[in-house]
Structure 1
Amino acid sequence: MRISWWKWLPFQRWRIIGQTESADEIPDRLPRNGVALVGETERPKWIVFDCPCRTGHRIMLNADPGRNPRWTLNRVKPLTISPSIDFRANQRHCHYIIRSGQIEWTEDNDR
Structure 2
Amino acid sequence: MPDSQGLQRSSRAKGKGAEHIAGDCILLGAKDFASDGADYGDDIARAQASVPGGRAMIINFTVKARVASRAGASAYLKQPGDAVIVDRSGPRWLILSCPCGCGAELPVNLDRRAGPAWRLYESPKGTSVYPSVWRDTDCQSHFIILRDKILLFGPRGDDWWFDEEEISETELLDRVLETLSAPERSVEEIADQIAGSVPWDVMRCCRKLCRKGKAIEGTGQSKGRFRRL
Q: Give the alignment's TM-score, normalised by structure 1.
A: 0.73
Q: CA offset at residue 76 of structure 1?
A: 5.0
Match of 1:71 among 118, 121, 136: 118
Counterpart for residue 131 of structure 2: 83
Per-residue Cα deviation, 1:47-106 (whole angstroms, up to 9, x for no partner): 00110000111110001121221011112551211110011223x311110101111233
Question: 1:87–1:65: structure 2 CA closer, same or farther, 3 Å change rule?
Answer: same
Counterpart of 2:109? Answer: 62
Match of 2:63 in 1: 16
Structure with a larger share of its residues in strand: 1
CA distance 1:20–1:67, change in 2 (3 Å): same
Query: Which residue does the alignment assign to 1:36?
Result: 84
2:155 pairs with 1:104: no
- Deviation >6 Å, runs of 4+: none
Which structure dedicates a bigger proportion of its chain to helix? 2
SS of 2:102's equivalent in the other structure is coil
Q: Which runs of 5+ in 1 are unaligned?
A: 1-11
Percent identical pairs in the alignment equals 21
SS in 2 for 1:70: coil
Residue 95 (structure 2) aligned to one of 23, 42, 48: 48
Tell me whether 48-57 or 12-21 shows the greater mean CA deviation: 12-21
* Ranges in structure 2 where 5+ consecutive residues have no aligned partner: 1-58, 157-229
Counterpart secondary structure, 1:89? coil
The one-letter code sitting in structure 1 at the alignment partner of 2:148 is G
Asked if structure 1 preserves the Cα contact closer than 8 Å seen for 2:76 and 2:83, the reply is no
Report the Cα offset of residue 31 of structure 1: 3.3
Alignment length (residue pairs) = 96
Larger Rg: 2
Relative contact order, higher structure (CA 8 A, sep 6+): 2
Compared with structure 1, are the counterparts of its residues 45 and 88 closer, same or farther at alpha carbon in structure 2 (3 Å cutoff)? same
Output the TM-score relative to the length of structure 2.
Answer: 0.38
